Amino acid sequence: MTPAQPTPDSTSSPARPSTIQDVAREAGVSRAAVSKVIRNAYGVSDRMRTQVEAAIERLQYRPRVAARAMRGASFTLGFEIPQVGNDFLTMIVDGATEALATTPYQLIIAPLGRDQKGDVAINSLADRQVDGIVAISPRVDPAWLERIAERTPVVMIGRHDRSDRYDTITGDDRSGAEQVMSHLVGLGHRRITHLTIHPSRPEPPWAGQAGDEPHVVRTAVYRERMHALGLEPTVVHTLFDGSEARTATRALLDSPEPPTAIFAGNDTLAIGVLSAVAEAGLDARDVAVVGYDDVPIARHPLVSLTSVDQSGAAMGREAARLLLERLEGRTEAVRLEIATELRARRSSAELSRLPGP
Amino acid sequence: MTPAQPTPDSTSSPARPSTIQDVAREAGVSRAAVSKVIRNAYGVSDRMRTQVEAAIERLQYRPRVAARAMRGASFTLGFEIPQVGNDFLTMIVDGATEALATTPYQLIIAPLGRDQKGDVAINSLADRQVDGIVAISPRVDPAWLERIAERTPVVMIGRHDRSDRYDTITGDDRSGAEQVMSHLVGLGHRRITHLTIHPSRPEPPWAGQAGDEPHVVRTAVYRERMHALGLEPTVVHTLFDGSEARTATRALLDSPEPPTAIFAGNDTLAIGVLSAVAEAGLDARDVAVVGYDDVPIARHPLVSLTSVDQSGAAMGREAARLLLERLEGRTEAVRLEIATELRARRSSAELSRLPGP
DNA sequence: TGGAATCGCTGAAAGGATTCATCGGCGGAG
DNA sequence: CTCCGCCGATGAATCCTTTCAGCGATTCCA
């Protein structure tokens, strides 16, 4: 053994964590050899592998991600999510975490602060040289995102746009919204109000593609179906966090001709709607409520919210898979569309007090 | 100008992102000078600052975090959270995100995969050289955590242990549980069952300090209060995700002497309990239910779950603040305890069918 | 007015891993 | 027996930023 031991004083200064150099010395091989072993790269003999692995174990070596990222990969995939508390997004993250469990990749999430735009978080992930990015904010500039995607694989979840540079995963919002409308109309509803989040404001410069956003698609389908039935569509816009949904619903219920059904753009809003309905002493017999996303709480018997399942977990799994594919060399863009399924529950089941046709 | 321009071909290869070197050249100063400007460090003239900032703007320069982390800081704080979907943890993250909005620090979250232990995620954050770590998993080895904390500031949320190396933030679990028990007993309940998560299994090597875990403290208080009243405590253990809470509750309700009140160790469990209660066609008049954490859905009128507010957002804010303090040089450990407040709601409000005393 | 301290800025070294060109040894083909 | 090619392994170059010692010029104090 060489006298250059890893400084046996463990009391005063916090012992320097070992580096690839230390491992190489301990195993009696070169740094490059150790590097190949930890990356599972080609060209290492069994004997060397076991030697190096033993040295790694003895020295408790862990590669520094920052140093790896300087030349190679960071083995990190980044999720940009606009709202930490949103259960639908949570399902997506869960799915991806699951899919990555058996890979050397670690998932990190960059949450958005209130009033922060998605590009801040995406930039921040890019600065950290993650090997791939999953973006969910539908309102970042596609052109800008393509520039990011030139350097780092990107999967955009939710937005129906078409890009040659990044992959997209969407739910089938058109069919999902159709299912909702058929369901409500089938129950006999005519005064159906649609409640959704505010459109981008101020209008973004790429506004021509606003129809890409999932909520906008759902709203469009709502309008089409109402018109087709000769009914007047009523669309109410609120903030995305559900607080405004409650007050907006209260106003609707107090109006001279209150709706008999409310189609909310997502479950967060629908939960807010249900608050107002319950607080007004009403229930599904007075106002049917339908949401979108089928978050876990929707199936709780006290809530029992009719919703559209677009399988967030599958979206997350697929997003992870698409990124891994890109990292393995795929270059053509892929577009995935996830099928939707209506989960009819009590919030839209009973119709006793519906006005006659 | 030197002929070594930054390669004007912008069509074929994705233009190399500019580095601090490019900025230095563009501004006609040294790399070190640029570095000082972007770090807001001491010793730069106004003239130079404006020059450099203009160059940064022109070149769209963004510092590479990996390279910064090699010698300096990564300006990243890491959250290890055991369950992405847990609303209480979400509140903590939200609070921290808020607190960091005005700082140059970015928050990243390392989620745990199913069946993964907290130390995996904490290690992964340490490998990424985050400047500080917030850990929430109560079941990592304290000694191991102290070793991490030698190198990176750590705040442990939830666990009541005492460390000289890392800071801790806890709710006042003792007082919170007391409030719950006083509330239930005050309503006249005697057959009170406590439902909580499984204790660590197998028993961890540092089991002597198991009493540190918040759930264990709450359970201990429950037992004490029951004994003080001459009542037999009943404790049921389930998985942490609420699925088992439902089935366990069903079994309780089917037992010969069903409880008149259930004190759940947290709101996730309580929501599961409420499922079973509702599915059995019962409500608060039959079984009072109390949770812990006061997650947002608890106040929903359809749920209206009595719970203990321990201000998750404040915990997150404080965690961020403690880390920033450490980064500014504080070395003594800090322990913070957040006061609790009982939020009595309908799930424990009505007692009509309570058996007489 | 001389010397010291301060200020603004610079060049070079450092940090830990990967990548690339290269090299010695060995087996197989001619 | 010789030559070619492949395999396993290595040393050096590289990635981008911060840090540190140092340098000239200015200011301050005696």
Average pLDDT score over residue span A131-151: 93
Kindly state the average pLDDT of the residues A307-321. Answer: 97
At residue B351, the pLDDT reads 60
How many alpha carbons lie under 13 Å from residue B143 in its C-beta half-sphere? 6
**Burial of B199 (C-beta count, 10 Å sphere; 0-12/13-18/19+):** middle
pLDDT tens figures, A218-236: 999 999 999 999 999 999 9
pLDDT at site B202 = 56
**Where on strand D do bases come within 7 A of a protein Cβ?**
7-21
pLDDT at A162: 87
State the pLDDT at residue A211. 61
Cβ contact B107–A108 (<8 Å): no
Q: What is the DSSP letter of B85?
A: T
Whether chain A has a CB inside 8 Å of the CB on B151: the answer is yes
Q: H or E stretch including B155?
A: strand B154-157
Restricting to A residues 277-306, those with a Cβ less than 8 Å away from any Cβ of B are: 278-279, 296-297, 300-303
Q: B170 with B338: CB under 8 angstroms?
A: yes
Answer yes or no: are the C-beta atoms of B195 and B269 closer than 8 Å: yes
Which nucleotide's C1' is closest to A70 (Cα)?
D15
The one-letter code for the residue type at A157 is I
Supply A9's token pair: 């004083």
Beta bridge partners of A284: none
* Per-residue pLDDT, B220: 95
Residue A243: the pLDDT is 86
Rg, Å, chain A Cα set: 26
Searching chain A, which residue's CA lies closest to the CA of residue B270? Answer: A300
Residues 6 or more apart whose Cβ sits within 8 Å of residue A328 = none
3-state secondary structure of B21: helix
In this complex, the answer to whether residue B66 has its CB under 7 A from any atom of chain C, a nucleic strand, is no
Spatial separation of the C-alpha atoms in residues B228 and B316, rounded to whole Å: 35
Check if residue A160 sits with its Cβ under 7 angstroms from strand C.
Answer: no
Strands of the sheet containing A192-197, edge to edge, are A234-238, A192-197, A261-264, A288-290
User: Averaged over A194-220, what is the pLDDT?
Assistant: 77
Band of pLDDT at residue A203, cut at 50, 70 and 90? low
* B14: nearest CA partner in chain A: A150
User: Contact B65/A129, CB-based, under 8 Å?
Assistant: yes
Decide: CB of A43 under 7 A of nucleic strand D. Answer: yes
Give the model's pLDDT for residue B80: 96
| Pairwise CB contact (< 8 Å): A108 & B108 | yes
Q: Could you tell me the mean pLDDT of each successive run of 10 residues in chain B, 357 residues long? A: 36 73 94 94 91 96 96 95 93 96 94 88 96 93 93 95 93 97 96 92 57 90 97 94 92 96 98 97 95 97 97 97 94 96 92 48
| pLDDT(A240) > 90 | no
Report pTM: 0.92
Mutation target to probe the A interface, by most A beta carbons within 10 A, among B18, B109, B114, B279 is: B109
pLDDT at A353 over 80: no
User: Would you state the structure tokens that stand for residue B259, as one six-digit string?
Assistant: 């409880």
All residues at 6 or more sequence positions from A237 whose CB lies less than 8 Å from its CB, including other chains: A195, A196, A197, A198, A199
DSSP B183-200: HHHHTT---EEEEEEPPP
pLDDT at A10: 37
pLDDT at A194 over 50: yes
CA A295, B343, B336: angle at the middle one, nearest 5?
95
Judged by C1' against the alpha carbon of A68, the nearest nucleotide is C17
Structure tokens at A343: 């989960």
Contact (Cβ atoms closer than 8 angstroms) between residue A162 and residue A335: yes
pLDDT of amino acid B204: 61
- Of A22-26, A244-248, B39-43, B249-253, where does mean pLDDT reach its minimum? B39-43
CA B10, CA A27: separation in Å to the nearest integer? 46
- Residue A12, pLDDT score: 44
Q: What is the DSSP code string of A150-166?
A: HHS-EEEES-----SSS
Residue A355: predicted pLDDT: 46
CA of B99 to C1' of C19 (A): 41
Residue A297: is its pLDDT beyond 90? Answer: yes
Among B12, B84, B305, which would you mutate to test the A interface (most chain A Cβ atoms within 10 Å of its Cβ)? Answer: B84
CA distance B123 to chain A (A): 9
Which residue intervals of chain B are DSSP H helices? 20-27, 31-38, 46-59, 65-71, 87-100, 118-127, 142-151, 173-186, 214-228, 243-254, 267-279, 312-327
- pLDDT, residue B289, reads 98
What pLDDT sits at residue B356? 40
Which of left, alpha, beta for B350 (phi over 0: left; psi -120 to 50: alpha)? beta
Q: CA of A47, closest CA in chain B: separation in Å?
A: 28
* Pairing assessment for the beta strands A288-290 and A335-338 based on DSSP bridges: unpaired
According to the model, what pLDDT value does residue B8 have? Answer: 40
